[in-house]
Amino acid sequence: MENTKNVALAFYSETYDSSIHNYTLPEEQLIYTALPVEAIVKCEQEKDRTPVLILVENKLAGFFVLDAGEAVKEYTDSFGALLIRSYSIHPDYQRNGIGKKSLKLLSSFIQHHFPTKNEVVLGVNHKNTAAQHLYNRSGFVDTNRRIFGSQGEQFVYQMNIKKA
């Protein structure tokens, strides 16, 4: 578990099932991401997907999935990449720097648990300016690559994983 100022990343554990099932997001955010309970079902179906919890003092504050499967190829030509899916911060924790802190922990988390990976990519909807701002402030860069998802055009963002 990586930790910075009470924010930690940890692999999904059934210990948090109650919090996962009670995790909600406003409709305007659900346009761009999946709820953790839905994402975990996909992870159980596709073994290349790893659910990750964002914890604040051991309470569920956010969630995302690291995908090492075939979908990565849509975002990058790199063989050493992971794809972030279903990233969200619970509304009770939004606008507190939790998102930025969680993304700052990502590099060391990936180094430790996925040592063969050297890059992380994600798609962010062209209308989701709040997420774009967060990713830009957290070490991601716009690759100028564009893909089309269920909600239209997505910008592909990328971050190199620094080796220790």
Which residue did the predictor score with more confidence, 163 or 144? 144
The residue whose two tokens read 């790199």 is 78
Number of Cβ within 10 Å of residue 81's Cβ equals 20
Q: Mean pLDDT over residues 73-85, rounded?
A: 93
Over residues 91-117, the pLDDT tens digits come to 999 888 999 999 999 999 999 999 999
Q: Is the pLDDT of residue 146 over 70?
A: yes
- Domain extent, residue 57, equals 2-160
Q: Which residues contact 41 (CB under 8 A, 6 or more apart)?
A: none
Over residues 151-162, the pLDDT tens digits come to 789 999 999 997
Torsion angle in degrees (nearest 10) through CA of 157, 12, 10, 155 = 10
Residues 123, 47, 34: CA angle, nearest 5 degrees:
40
Q: Is 29:89 a contact under the CB 8 Å cutoff?
A: no
The CATH number covering residue 146 comes to 3.40.630.30
Q: Is the pLDDT of residue 48 over 50?
A: yes
Residue 3 is predicted with a pLDDT of 46
Total domains present in the chain: 1
Buried b (16+ CB within 10 A) or exposed e, 21-57: eebebeeebeebbbbbeebbeebeeeeebbbbbbbbe
First-to-last C-alpha distance (Å) of the chain? 16
Distance of CA 96 to the CA centre of its chain: 17
Over residues 49-62, the pLDDT tens digits come to 999 999 999 999 99
